[in-house]
Amino acid sequence: MSRSCLAVILAAGDSTRMKSSMSKVLHPVAGRPMIAHVMAAVASAGMTDAALVVGRDAEKVANAGAIDGISVRSFLQTERLGTGHAVLAAREAIADGFDDVLVAYGDVPLITAIPFAAARQKLAEGADVVVIGFHTDKPTGYGRLLVENGELVAIREEKDATDEERKVTWCNSGLMAINGRKALSLLEKIGNANAKGEYYLTDLVEIARAAGGKVVAVDAPEAELTGCNNRAELAYIEKLWQERRRHELMVSGVSMIAPETVFLSYDTQIGQDALIEPNVVFGPGVTIDGGAVIHAFSHIEGAHVSAGATVGPFARLRPGADLAAGSKVGNFCEVKNGKVGEGAKVNHLTYIGDAVIGAHANIGAGTITCNYDGVNKHETWIGANSFVGSNSALVAPVSIGDGAYIASGSVITEDVPADALAFGRARQEIKPERATVIRERALALKKSRSKT
């Protein structure tokens, strides 16, 4: 749409029921604060500006809600006098005269752009207020949306509804869109003549109709409107988010053997024909290209896995890990800030940190890049087609040339030229019968201790 749009995000909750030391909207879903999920949804619906109504942790909430290309202003809500009062905390932003004003909540992280876009379309068609509702088979406790001749005539709270009205299953979500040219005048007419003395946003329906305006409702899936008030609900929202994202990926061509055991981050990208085995966890910043295989019980964060590469089982890729096409990181291996070249193999029980491994190199079991001196990190370069024998320690900074061969059990502290063979271990010595002497001495000591 070419229409300007302000989103007012209510995020001033005290987190009382969350039993938390931080604002509720900062709690993560899929590795991302709830408020950031909501901001992404309204941005996708065409939001040009945002007004965050904040309370505790105001600066942290504002930072979490920041989004590229969108002007975001924060407004502190010092009193809790109802939803209408909360929206008016952003009076200064609303007064700027946007075409559309969206009202959303920072603790509804499953919402997508679709309901907001539908509401904005209704505003463009002439509605003054658009309420986003949902159908449910368990409407008890929710305000009912009462519609006549295609227009919303009232939102009836449960306690005020007649028996017939309680049968209505279309319910109020609390999310709303308002004609931006009329928003401030309508909001200022909300009164507090009720038992709680609070200003209710839902009163806008009757206020707008009384002024001759058109009020309608649009529908959204119930799951998208799930709010969060405590840790149990947070876990349920995480479950719903994971189910939705797994389904999207599988429909797009990703194979998951046991999808319910795979956990994704908000920005996980997985290409077509990739295979994800059971019990895999993706942290933020992961891209898995098509045709890659992630074996069971692997943990991946901040990493890129190219087409045809394989990871695991029981592997860990940390931030900066970058696996080229056809490479392999096997069982009980860890890669941190390491590039594994095309066709290279890091098969067993190995740590690769701050390293570059050339194409088709082979890293033997138990190899360690010793990258940390207690203060600084140092790099290791391992050339193409090189071979590092098992149980080797490469003390960085160090370079292994193309085609070089590192003997098993070596400690390498100096650069190794291309095609050279390097030994970094003590010469083996054999002491005949010495094992018998050591064993007899140990048994004698054990016997003497048992007597005392």
Q: pLDDT by residue (tens digit) across 341-353?
A: 999 999 999 999 9
Tokens of 333: 């291996």
My answer on whether 106 and 238 are in the same domain is: no
Q: What is the pLDDT of residue 426?
A: 83
Beta strand 351-357 with 334-340: parallel, antiparallel or unpaired? parallel
My answer on whether 275 and 213 are in the same domain is: no
Residues 6+ away with beta carbon under 8 Å from 426? none
- Write the single-letter amino acid at 257: I
Which residue is it, tokens 């890049």?
A: 369
3-class state of residue 439 by DSSP: helix
408 in a domain, yes or no? no
pLDDT tens digits, 153-172: 989 888 888 889 999 999 99
* Cα dihedral 301, 304, 308, 311 sign: negative
My answer on whether 158 and 289 are in the same domain is: no
Catalytic residue flag (residue 348) = yes
* Torsion, CA 116, CA 122, CA 124, CA 127, rounded to 10: -120
344: domain CATH number is: 2.160.10.10
What is the domain range of residue 150? 5-225
Q: Among 334, 369, 404, identify where a domain stops.
A: 369
Starting at the edge strand found earlier in the chain, the sheet holding 362-363 runs 255-256, 275-276, 293-294, 310-311, 328-329, 345-346, 362-363, 387-388, 405-406, 421-422
My answer on whether 173 and 246 are in the same domain is: no
State the Cα–Cα distance between residues 286 and 301, nearest whole angstrom: 6
My answer on whether 201 and 258 are in the same domain is: no
379 in a domain, yes or no? no
Other beta carbons less than 10 A from residue 96's beta carbon:
13
Other beta carbons less than 10 A from residue 283's beta carbon:
19
My answer on whether 66 and 214 are in the same domain is: yes
My answer on whether 174 and 259 are in the same domain is: no
The DSSP symbol for 342 reads: T
Q: What is the pLDDT of residue 1?
A: 64
CA dist list (Å): 171 to 83, 109, 218: 17, 19, 11
Other beta carbons less than 10 A from residue 104's beta carbon:
28
138 in a domain, yes or no? yes
Q: What is the pLDDT of residue 197?
A: 84
Q: How many structural domains compose the chain?
A: 2
Question: Can you name the residues that pair with 13 across neighbouring β-strands?
Answer: none
Q: Phi first, then psi: give them for residue 65, nearest 5 degrees.
A: -90, -5
My answer on whether 24 and 71 are in the same domain is: yes
My answer on whether 184 and 251 are in the same domain is: no
Q: Phi first, then psi: give them for residue 61, nearest 5 degrees.
A: -65, -45
My answer on whether 196 and 270 are in the same domain is: no
3-class state of residue 172 by DSSP: strand
My answer on whether 40 and 151 are in the same domain is: yes
My answer on whether 238 and 326 are in the same domain is: yes
> Please, where are the H alpha helices in 66-170?
83-88, 91-94, 113-124
Question: Is the CB of residue 190 less than 8 Å from the CB of residue 201?
Answer: yes
Weakly modelled stretches of the chain, pLDDT under 50:
none
328 in a domain, yes or no? yes
Annotated active-site residue in 135, 247, 304, 348: 348
Statement: the pTM of the whole predicted model exceeds 0.95: no
State the Cα–Cα distance between residues 375 and 373, nearest whole angstrom: 6
Q: Closest Cα to residue 129, out of 183, 52, 48? A: 183
Q: What is the pLDDT of residue 16?
A: 82
List of E strands, 77-221: 100-105, 129-135, 144-148, 151-156, 170-179, 215-219
State the Cα–Cα distance between residues 66 and 60, nearest whole angstrom: 10
